[in-house]
Every structure is written in structure tokens, then in C-alpha cells.
């Protein structure tokens, strides 16, 4: 009975510590579920909105030589149908090369119904070929392509495979015909524009977490912060020195990881048969823009973590205080994956962390907005200056530094 009483005493003590600490209760219980709810809700809204826009939007299906046997079915597809009065060469050469164009071009052979009726699979002749030109970088174009292709495949199977879709001519000596007009660099940029900002934000934050809490909360815990505060230096100089030194270490950590990703990317893509020049399509100016965004971002990260660490009594409690910020940064890093274009309003680039993610995504996806990147860098530097002022005031407060 005594043993059980001791166990219950320990349980009650731990429960009192856990449920009595509002920050710990919020970050450990409420915050994860809340963030998951927000992320999945936004993903569902973006996916639903994307499909709604694609089905009801101005997606156009241009068709040449539409056979009478398919006219009624094509009239029922959820896209705008155009069968005459257009320039097929311009569609393929110009319009479909623009990933913002919401269209596909379908080319049936002349007298398609007659060709199918006369086609003999055992005769050695090629089956009639239906060509569907599209752009996989456009969500609307890709949706229309998949819809029409699936319908034609079902219709083809019901007729014992009497025609082909996007078949290459094996007897042709010309270069293989391209039906997907998406630019290779745009395809790679779209992928990296979603992946790299998230990776970089996580790497930078990991570097900041490795050095910032121990540099302030750790010194409070060891009692060495008092020695620094009694030196003749100004408290603002101490705050600036802390932020700059910690930012340098965090930046080096993040850059090391980023260089590892960049250097391994050609090998990874070449393993799939991708040429190295295609694998790394970015210029020196692109990397310089990314570097400017990264430097300004790490300054904000270190500033925020330093302020939270100054509020904490020790490194462990600093980690608890920083956890919500870490979850926020991770969530913001995932925003390019939720769909949608970069914000057009430049005021959106005043939002810390979100501005950095969108700026990096724009560079990696070849949609650079110099004004947006400039606002991001200036805003981050301004937020760092404000953080230096706040940290200086905290260093001047005996209540914050020594709990008095």
C-alpha cells in the first residue's frame, strides 16, 4: 500500500506539473492537433477549389476533324469545346507552350469513322492515331487531357482497340513527336519550388535551435549571464553581438546542408537519365537572391529564438517556449505544397517567414518577383532591428534576467 501511495504521489506531482504549465499543455496537446486540422483543412480547400476551377473554368478543348460518332459525347464534356475557327499550329507552338493556358488540342485523322470501319488489325497497317497535345505544367490543361484521354481509351476498348492515342510512327525517320508541351525547366522548377523552401526553412531553424537557446538560456542557467551584464558594454551591443554571432553559426549550418542537397541533386537526377545541365538550371544571380533571403531569414529566426530564450529559466524550458515557433515555421514551409500561385499583393511579403518561403519558391520555380524579394529582405532586417531593441530591454530587466 505504501508503494502504491508513493507511485500515486509521483503521478499527482507530474500531473500537477504538466497540467499546471499552460505553455507545455498548449504546445504538447493543443498545438499539434490544431496545426493538423488547419493544414488538412487548407489542403482540402485548395484541392476542392482547384477541381472546381478546373471543371467550371475557362478550360478549352480544341478539336480538329471531330467524328460524328463522338460529337454528342464531346458536347457533354465539362469543358468549352471548339471545333473550328482556330489555328492548330499556333495552339501547339505558342499557346500550349505557356503553362498558364488552360487548353488542349485534339487532332483526329480525317474521315476517322471510315478509317476505323476499314481498319484490319491483321493487315499490318498502323491503326488510326488520335493526337492529344497538352501542357502538364497547367493544372487545367492536365485535367482536360486526362479526362479526354480516359474517355477515348474507354471508347477504344469497347471497339477492340481499333485506334491509338499519341502513338509514335515507328517508320518515321524524324525526331519523336512531343505531345506534352511542358518545358522541362518549368517542370523541375515547379517541383523544387515546392520542396526546397520547406527543406531550407527546416534546416535553418535546426541550425538556430542548435546554438541560440544555449547561448542565452544556457548562460542564465549556468549563471554566466550576470558576468556579461556587469561589463561596461552597452546592452544593445550585447544583443547585437549575440544575434550576429548566432546567426553566423546558424547560417553556416544551413548552408552546409543546402550545399549537400545541391551537390547531390545532379547525381540523383542523372540516375533517372536526366542531363546534368537540365538538373541545375539556376544562374549565379538566382543563388545570390536565395542567399540574400536566407541571411535575412536566419536573422529573424535567431532574433525570435533569442527573445524566447531570454524569457526561459533554462535550456529545457527554452525548448518548450520555442516549440510553437518551430511548428509555425514548419507549417509555413509547407505552404507552397498546398497549391495556388504566389501572392500578387506585395503587402503579403511583409509577413515574417511566409515572405521568405514565397520568395524562395519564386526563385526556384523561375517566377522571380524582384520587388517582392526586396520587400522580404528589407522587412526581415527591420524585424531584426525591432528584436534587437526588445532583447536590449530584456537584458536591462532584472526580473527577466534573474527572476527578481
Query: What is the rounded distance in angstroms from the CA atom of residue 98 to the CA atom of residue 62?
Result: 16
pLDDT digits (tens, 9 = 90+) for 98-147: 655 688 889 888 888 888 878 777 766 778 888 888 887 777 888 888 88
Q: Using N-to-C axis directions, what is the helix angle for 315-333 and 31-56, rounded to 10°?
A: 10
- CA-based nearest residue to 92, from 55, 68, 64: 64
Residue 148 predicted with pLDDT over 90: no
CA distances from 133 to 62, 104, 166, 258, 352 (A): 10, 6, 9, 37, 42
What phi, psi does 378 have (nearest 5°)?
-65, -45
pLDDT bucket at 56, cuts 50 / 70 / 90: very low
Question: How far apart, in whole angstroms, are the C-alpha atoms of residue 150 and residue 216?
Answer: 61
| Residue 240, H or E segment | helix 235-270
Element (H, E) at 41: helix 31-56
Strand partners, 180: 134
Query: Packing angle between helix 284-311 and helix 315-333, nearest 10 degrees?
Result: 140
Q: Tell me, what DSSP letter sits at residue 128? A: P
- Read off the pLDDT of residues 259-308 as tens digits, 9 standing for 90 and up: 766 666 665 555 444 444 444 567 888 888 988 998 899 889 988 998 88
If pLDDT is split at 50, 70 and 90, which confidence band does 219 have? confident
Count of CB atoms within 10 A of residue 44's CB?
11
Strand pairing of 103-107 and 129-133?
antiparallel
Which of 161-165's residues contact partners 24+ apart within 8 Å by CB, and which partners? Answer: 161/121, 161/127, 162/116, 162/119, 162/121, 162/127, 162/128, 163/112, 163/115, 163/116, 163/119, 163/127, 163/128, 163/129, 163/130, 164/126, 164/127, 164/128, 164/129, 164/130, 165/129, 165/130, 165/131, 165/132
Q: How far apart are CA 203 and CA 179, in angstroms?
A: 39
pLDDT band at 353 (very low <50, low <70, confident <90, very high): very high
Contact of 317 with 342, CB cutoff 8 Å: no
Helix, strand, or coil here: 45?
helix
How far is it, in rounded angstroms, from Cα 99 to Cα 81? Answer: 20
Mean pLDDT within 59-65: 87
Rounded Cα gap, residues 323 and 30, in angstroms: 12
Which is more confidently placed, 97 or 199?
199
Q: What angle do CA 38, 42, 45 make, to 5 degrees?
A: 140
More confident residue, 352 or 244: 352
Separation between Cα atoms, residue 8 and residue 16, nearest integer Å? 12
Give SS3 for 180: strand
Q: How far apart are CA 378 and CA 385, in angstroms?
A: 11
What average pLDDT score do residues 333-354 get? 81
What is the value of pTM for the model shown? Answer: 0.63
What is the distance of C-alpha 91 from the center of its chain?
A: 30
Task: For residue 329, count other CB atoms closer than 10 A to its CB.
Answer: 24
**What is the rounded distance in angstroms from the CA atom of residue 106 to the CA atom of residue 66?**
9
Is residue 112 within 8 Å of 128, Cβ to Cβ? Answer: yes
Confidence bin at 50 (pLDDT 50/70/90):
very low
Determine the Cα–Cα distance for residues 16 and 90; give it in Å rounded to an integer.
72
- Mean per-residue pLDDT of the chain: 75
| 117 contacts: CB under 8 Å, gap ≥ 6 | none
- CA–CA distance, 66 with 96 (Å, rounded to integer): 20
Amino acid at each position: 500500500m505504501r508503494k502504491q501511495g508513493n507511485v500515486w504521489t509521483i503521478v499527482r506531482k507530474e500531473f500537477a506539473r504538466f497540467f499546471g504549465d499552460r505553455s507545455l499543455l498548449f504546445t504538447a496537446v493543443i498545438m499539434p492537433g490544431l496545426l493538423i486540422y488547419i493544414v488538412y483543412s487548407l489542403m482540402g480547400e485548395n484541392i476542392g477549389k482547384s477541381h472546381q476551377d478546373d471543371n467550371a473554368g475557362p478550360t478549352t478543348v480544341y478539336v480538329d476533324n471531330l467524328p460524328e460518332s463522338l460529337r454528342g459525347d464531346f458536347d457533354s464534356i465539362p469543358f468549352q469545346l471548339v471545333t473550328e475557327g482556330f489555328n492548330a499550329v499556333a495552339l501547339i507552338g505558342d499557346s500550349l507552350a505557356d503553362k498558364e493556358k488552360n487548353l488542349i488540342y485534339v487532332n483526329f485523322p480525317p474521315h476517322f469513322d471510315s478509317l476505323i470501319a476499314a481498319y484490319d488489325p491483321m493487315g499490318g497497317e498502323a491503326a488510326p492515331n488520335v493526337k492529344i497535345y497538352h501542357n502538364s505544367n497547367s493544372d487545367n490543361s492536365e485535367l482536360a487531357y486526362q479526362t479526354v484521354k480516359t474517355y477515348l481509351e474507354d471508347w477504344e476498348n469497347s471497339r477492340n482497340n481499333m485506334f491509338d492515342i499519341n502513338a509514335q510512327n515507328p517508320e518515321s525517320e524524324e525526331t519523336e513527336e512531343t505531345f506534352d508541351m511542358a518545358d522541362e525547366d518549368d517542370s523541375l522548377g515547379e517541383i523544387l519550388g515546392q520542396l526546397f523552401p520547406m527543406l531550407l526553412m527546416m534546416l535553418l531553424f535546426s541550425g538556430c535551435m542548435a546554438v541560440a537557446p544555449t547561448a542565452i538560456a544556457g548562460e542564465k542557467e549556468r549563471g554566466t549571464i550576470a558576468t556579461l551584464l556587469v561589463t561596461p558594454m552597452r546592452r544593445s551591443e550585447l544583443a547585437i553581438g549575440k544575434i550576429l554571432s548566432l546567426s553566423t553559426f546558424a547560417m553556416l549550418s544551413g548552408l552546409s546542408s543546402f550545399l549537400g542537397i545541391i551537390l547531390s541533386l545532379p547525381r540523383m537526377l542523372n540516375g533517372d537519365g536526366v542531363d546534368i545541365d537540365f538538373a541545375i538550371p539556376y544562374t549565379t544571380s538566382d543563388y545570390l537572391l536565395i542567399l540574400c533571403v536566407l541571411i535575412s531569414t536566419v536573422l529573424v529566426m535567431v532574433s525570435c529564438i533569442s527573445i524566447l530564450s531570454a524569457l526561459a529559466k533554462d535550456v529545457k524550458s527554452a525548448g518548450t517556449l520555442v516549440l510553437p515557433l518551430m511548428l509555425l515555421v514548419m507549417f509555413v514551409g509547407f505552404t507552397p505544397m498546398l497549391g495556388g500561385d504566389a501572392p500578387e499583393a506585395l503587402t503579403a511579403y511583409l509577413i515574417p517567414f511566409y515572405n521568405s518561403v514565397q520568395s524562395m519558391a519564386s526563385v526556384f520555380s523561375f517566377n522571380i518577383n524582384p520587388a517582392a524579394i526586396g520587400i522580404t529582405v528589407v522587412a526581415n532586417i527591420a524585424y531584426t532591428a525591432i528584436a534587437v531593441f526588445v532583447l536590449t530591454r530584456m537584458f536591462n530587466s532584472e526580473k527577466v534576467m534573474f527572476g527578481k
